[in-house]
Amino acid sequence: MKTYGIICEYNPFHNGHIHQIEETKKQTGATHIVAVMSGNYVQRGEPALMDKFKRAEIAVKNGVDLVIEMPVQYSLANAELFARCGVLMLGSLRCVEGISFGSECGSVEQLMQCADAVKEVSTPENLKPLMEQGIPFPEAVQQLVGYKYGPLVGDLLGSPNNILAVEYIKSLKILGLMDKIKPFTVKREGAAHDSDEHSGNIASGSYIRQLIDDGEDFSAFVPKDTADAVAEYDDNDLLCWFENFERVLLYRLRTMSPQELAMTPDVGQGLENRIFQAARVAVSLEDLLEKIKVKRYPMSRIKRILLNALFGIKTDDLKVPPTFGRILALNDKGAEILRMAGSMPEDKLSIPFSSSLKDFVEAGKQNKNVMRAVGMTTVSSDIYTLGSRNIRPSGMDFTGKVHFEKIEGFVSELPEDLKTTAMSGTAEEVEKMRAERAAEKAAESAENASENGAESGEKNDD
């Protein structure tokens, strides 16, 4: 058993994702794939086209074995925090041997060199003069790296997949996981990230979403499961689009003070006042974004700010590491990953995993960080149901069921209890605890059978 992790969004799941999974298995010998996937919102600051449960189901039907949700406060964070959360959650399973990510350069060695360079130059002293000139943070870092390490290293930061790859490697180093989780990169094939072009049967997610929005054929670029799901959601008016949040966003922003806005992640340098004023005069979402837009803030960052404000997510929320892992979908091999994770001794990264949000609520009633995380998840999901033309009922997080995909001929079974997949103690102690639980269940079943038998006897006597 060799498990590799992928940090992803699958918005939607397409042929490029299949290529990454297949190349990862082929080149590393990985037998199991676990994905940490953004939930209902993605890092570009928009809602996912389809909800997290459907996207996770599609992933498991097309090569992924286990899908775990990335908490919303991190899926709507900057690249550094997005990557840090994903790596931490993979590390918390304690059985993941490698992480696979796409990159434009296709070289782990170059990316590691760049990661060291970024870490060295990214100090407030170095960045402040450039950012005071209105240069966006990513460009400021790229300039510093290029100046100190040369244009070949600096140019790596000009490509979006390279940027995330560098952040994954930085996170592995900072979390002390380089010896446990090996970085592996798949060179990005075909169209570039966010490109409006395609190469063969591979196209970017943004190009595919545009085709879907325009009602054009996109089936050549996605597996059948994605095409069928999009058709189903489209027929029922359930596809989620950012523009459908127009009124609820304007309402929320018009009821917030500049002080409240200032507590939202990524807000600084007086941007809270700009948002406050824009919300009062904007007459549409497009108008709002145009009035807020400034050179130093990429549009994706502004959209993330707006969604964070809508959900009440604060800067302090990003100071708390993930407190649990929500299982969205799995197959027999995914169940093996969970059993392996549950048999490993706990360490500083360990968190519980479950397919039910109720489990975290019940276990974390006395833990304010857990309850806060649950609150952000449920609020953001309930608002997500307003983002489609056909408004859906709220409560998705408590009614959605984990998708289990049976592998033909596989001897594994879905664990009866996914409530606690990270347990305290050594592997031997964990096995002992599980044996004791199994014995208790067997005794309880025997007792119930005995009682039923006695009741049946009494009826016969009558």
- What's residue 42's pLDDT? 97
Cα distances (angstroms) measured from residue 225 to each of 39, 96, 279: 19, 27, 40
Q: Which long-range contacts (CB under 8 A, 24 or more apart) does 137-144 make?
A: 137/296, 138/163, 138/298
Assess contact for 372 and 460: CB atoms under 8 A. Answer: no
Split at pLDDT 50, 70, 90, the class of 107 is very high
Q: Look up the pTM and report it.
A: 0.87
- What's residue 436's pLDDT? 73
Assess contact for 65 and 33: CB atoms under 8 A. Answer: yes
Which range among 246-250, 318-322, 366-370 shows the weakest confidence by mean pLDDT? 366-370
Which range among 6-15, 68-77, 142-151, 441-450 shows the weakest confidence by mean pLDDT? 441-450
Q: Which residues fall within 8 angstroms of residue 380, CB to CB, at 6 or more apart?
A: 39, 40, 41, 72, 307, 311
What pLDDT digit, counting tens, does each position of 109-129 carry?
999 999 999 988 888 888 888
What pLDDT digit, counting tens, does each position of 313-367 carry?
999 999 999 999 999 999 999 999 998 887 787 888 889 998 888 888 888 788 9
Residue 136 has pLDDT above 90, yes or no: no
Q: Which residues fall within 8 angstroms of residue 91, CB to CB, at 6 or more apart?
A: 175, 177, 180, 181, 349
Angle subtended by helix axes 299-311 and 368-384, to nearest 10: 110
Pairwise CA distance, residues 258 & 115, whole Å: 36
Assess contact for 442 and 450: CB atoms under 8 A. Answer: no
**Residue type at position 184:** F
* Residue 457 structure tokens: 């006897």
- What's residue 421's pLDDT? 45
Pairwise CA distance, residues 454 & 462, whole Å: 13
Assess contact for 398 and 354: CB atoms under 8 A. Answer: no
Pairwise CA distance, residues 183 & 164, whole Å: 12
- Cα 28 vs. chain centroid, distance in angstroms? 23
- Cα 16 vs. chain centroid, distance in angstroms? 18
Residue 425 has pLDDT above 60, yes or no: no
DSSP state of 401: -
Pairwise CA distance, residues 34 & 14, whole Å: 17
**Residue type at position 425:** G
Q: Domain boundaries in the chain?
A: 243-317
What pLDDT digit, counting tens, does each position of 139-155 carry?
888 999 998 888 888 88
* Residue 46 structure tokens: 């928009």
* Residue 30 structure tokens: 């990985």
Pairwise CA distance, residues 168 & 183, whole Å: 8
Residue 194 has pLDDT above 60, yes or no: no
Assess contact for 404 and 418: CB atoms under 8 A. Answer: no
Pairwise CA distance, residues 360 & 275, whole Å: 35
